[in-house]
Chain A
């Protein structure tokens, strides 16, 4: 059964974070920020996922020290923290790159060009799914559906949308990122870095909410068709009267 070769699953590398690497950048400020996150919920454990995002923004991965710090602050076992950290795909056990590239591989995007894009990105960066380039500049992930199917094929950079991607756009995007050119998401803000994105996701604003458009072209397809055809929802006023 040659077809099953790729399913030879040796799961040696699974089951935890890298406990051999005890390096960390977590400091007193990080701990204060973690406590701030904990205080935002009726029960502090609810802050675990934001805290792990914060650990990633500080350490570039879910670090061994980060796991222990979360466990201690929340008064739960380190095993429980590892259980959470290994459940969610956004949590990285190995250091992610300065820019984290996601290429959607779910059926629709894949069919519409995502697979070709994945191969292009992989070739250009010299890394495969789940890897980080030796210079730490890029990491690559085959992502599952990112809720932007009307913009397929879709890529994400640092969890910002990159819609309607083509090989040419990929070429330019990666070149720009490599040399540090300003890159703007078509439906988001100017790119910063994966770590800064993780910090925002954890709950610390970077003040960029007003950047970018309200909607992309596809998002407006329906409302524009309605305007062209003068289609509207029923008149509200007469109905409100009728209801009363």
Chain B
């Protein structure tokens, strides 16, 4: 039985100047790489397969298997791309990882590149994180200077160049084919598959795209062995991972734990929901994963158990909302996020998000009409599973799960603005006397109209 928390990736984050190569080396850094160089690339892939490591960026595809798809016989150059475009609402693990321990990602990238035969790797970082970009670039320079990058690394005969590439603001670039288009200097729009990136990815060459945390997990697997890694977690969801707790929790932050820990356990470690309030709902893995309620506190946070509960592990971005929060408000905001981030390529995503935001805005503002909820669900049905990529499935999940759990709160939007049912200042972390308005509506100019408050509307807060 492993411990409650298993800091591996986060282990050195509190060390002085944790981001420096020397700190990394002092704490056992680059042991994994030396182990890997003593193995054949195929053996490295097998080891990662055996570890049970799965993609930590949301989809959960087995990492070793993804590497195995790279056709060795293809004469074109192979590429590795590390996806650090972390943008899914609630997700905040890769940025602190890169800030505190960038060498972990570089070492992981070298091992991955060695395994798939790539001599060029790209670390794609979202553009809006200046200091993260600085740190990673400096870390790459340090690695070059110390001979971990460049020609004939550590005398292994293997060479690798890494380019750190900053994006420019687009959530969709987290989708691996959109990321590749973006990296090619194009609009970040998902590509048609097949061909898959493993066959025709970057510059139409075989390409592996791995999430930042997945890559960072590789050095320890090589250094300590796949069995060591696989002993953590559950039978099918092996290993440990970073759970990002945010929202109305007393101690938000990054908690690295074996897969299969429960929300209740994590909340206990994080000292629970904020003083005087109770949990209302939470997302297990970002806003694209159907939200859960306190009824799900004991569901193990692993791939299979969450799928069985009708949701997903996603990015393990656990956003907690207490009883002060209007679910109509958060749902609208999330869908606004997807509308803003929809690339616009396919009809259902572009138009569906456009329409849903309008209907949800009406409900938040108490201007909904009878039938709006049915209309919203019908629109979701028209979008679900029919869009080009999964971005649209994300907002469908967000909306349908919210309505399923809190339908009467949406119905209240036919009559009452959400801020009357859930005064917004109560959700804020700091006391306020003014009511925070939704965008475009100034409360001070348009005071809430007197309406009869329905008792039923209050009853939905606690599931």
- B28 CB to closest chain A CB (Å) equals 9
**Those of A159-217 within 8 Å (CB) of chain B:** 159-161, 164, 166-167, 185, 187-189, 197, 200-203, 205-206, 208-212, 214-217
Could you tell me if B365 and A149 are in contact, using CB atoms closer than 8 angstroms? no
- B225 CB to closest chain A CB (Å) equals 4
Could you tell me if A106 and B137 are in contact, using CB atoms closer than 8 angstroms? no
Per-residue A-contact encoding for B3-27, CB less than 8 Å = 1, 0 else: 1111110110111111110000000
Residues of B in contact, count (CB < 8 Å) = 120
Q: A108-B319, A219-B100 are known contacts. Are A208 and B14 too (CB-CB below 8 A)?
A: no
Distance, CA A107 to CA B243, complexed state (A): 19
A224 at the interface (CB under 8 A from B): yes
Other-chain residue from A102, A149, A158, A226 in contact with B5 (beta carbon distance below 8 A): A226
6 contacting pairs across A/B (C-beta < 8 A): A87-B343, A89-B168, A146-B129, A209-B137, A215-B18, A229-B5
Which B-chain residue is minimally distant from A204 (CB atoms)? Answer: B137
Q: Could you list 20 further interchain pairs (A-B, Cβ under 8 angstroms) beyond the known A209-B134, A222-B7?
A: A2-B367, A45-B186, A53-B166, A88-B169, A90-B127, A90-B168, A108-B319, A110-B329, A112-B428, A119-B436, A143-B128, A145-B89, A166-B430, A200-B130, A209-B131, A221-B253, A225-B251, A225-B255, A226-B4, A243-B228
- A215 CB to closest chain B CB (Å) equals 4
Distance, CA A7 to CA B246, complexed state (A): 31
Chain B hits for A156, CB < 8 A: 128
Distance, CA A125 to CA B187, complexed state (A): 33
- B418 CB to closest chain A CB (Å) equals 11
B252 at the interface (CB under 8 A from A): yes
Chain B hits for A243, CB < 8 A: 225-228
**Those of B159-186 within 8 Å (CB) of chain A:** 163, 165-171, 182-186
Distance, CA A80 to CA B185, complexed state (A): 10
Q: A108-B319, A197-B130, A205-B134 are known contacts. Are A147 and B95 too (CB-CB below 8 A)?
A: yes
Distance, CA A210 to CA B325, complexed state (A): 39
Chain B hits for A87, CB < 8 A: 170, 187-188, 343
- A24 CB to closest chain B CB (Å) equals 20
- B91 CB to closest chain A CB (Å) equals 6
Could you tell me if B321 and A210 are in contact, using CB atoms closer than 8 angstroms? no
- B321 CB to closest chain A CB (Å) equals 7
A138 at the interface (CB under 8 A from B): no
B429 at the interface (CB under 8 A from A): yes
Which A-chain residue is minimally distant from B331 (CB atoms)? Answer: A107
Distance, CA A104 to CA B77, complexed state (A): 40
A11 at the interface (CB under 8 A from B): no
Which B-chain residue is minimally distant from A142 (CB atoms)? Answer: B439
- B15 CB to closest chain A CB (Å) equals 7
B231 at the interface (CB under 8 A from A): yes
**7 interchain residue pairs of minimum CB distance:** A221-B253, A48-B185, A88-B168, A239-B228, A188-B131, A209-B138, A222-B255
Could you tell me if A91 and B19 are in contact, using CB atoms closer than 8 angstroms? no
Could you tell me if B92 and A148 are in contact, using CB atoms closer than 8 angstroms? yes
Other-chain residue from B89, B137, B223, B334 in contact with A236 (beta carbon distance below 8 A): B223
Could you tell me if B270 and A102 are in contact, using CB atoms closer than 8 angstroms? no
A34 at the interface (CB under 8 A from B): no
Other-chain residue from B2, B10, B128, B429 in contact with A222 (beta carbon distance below 8 A): B10
Per-residue A-contact encoding for B118-134, CB less than 8 Å = 1, 0 else: 00100000111111011
B88 at the interface (CB under 8 A from A): yes
Could you tell me if B92 and A147 are in contact, using CB atoms closer than 8 angstroms? yes
Distance, CA A205 to CA B134, complexed state (A): 7
Could you tell me if B166 and A50 are in contact, using CB atoms closer than 8 angstroms? yes
Could you tell me if B333 and A110 are in contact, using CB atoms closer than 8 angstroms? yes
Distance, CA A236 to CA B101, complexed state (A): 20
Could you tell me if B252 and A221 are in contact, using CB atoms closer than 8 angstroms? yes
Could you tell me if A149 and B91 are in contact, using CB atoms closer than 8 angstroms? yes
Which A-chain residue is minimally distant from B266 (CB atoms)? Answer: A222
Could you tell me if B440 and A40 are in contact, using CB atoms closer than 8 angstroms? no
Distance, CA A53 to CA B128, complexed state (A): 11
Q: A113-B429, A145-B91, A223-B7 are known contacts. Are A89 and B169 too (CB-CB below 8 A)?
A: yes
Could you tell me if B253 and A234 are in contact, using CB atoms closer than 8 angstroms? no
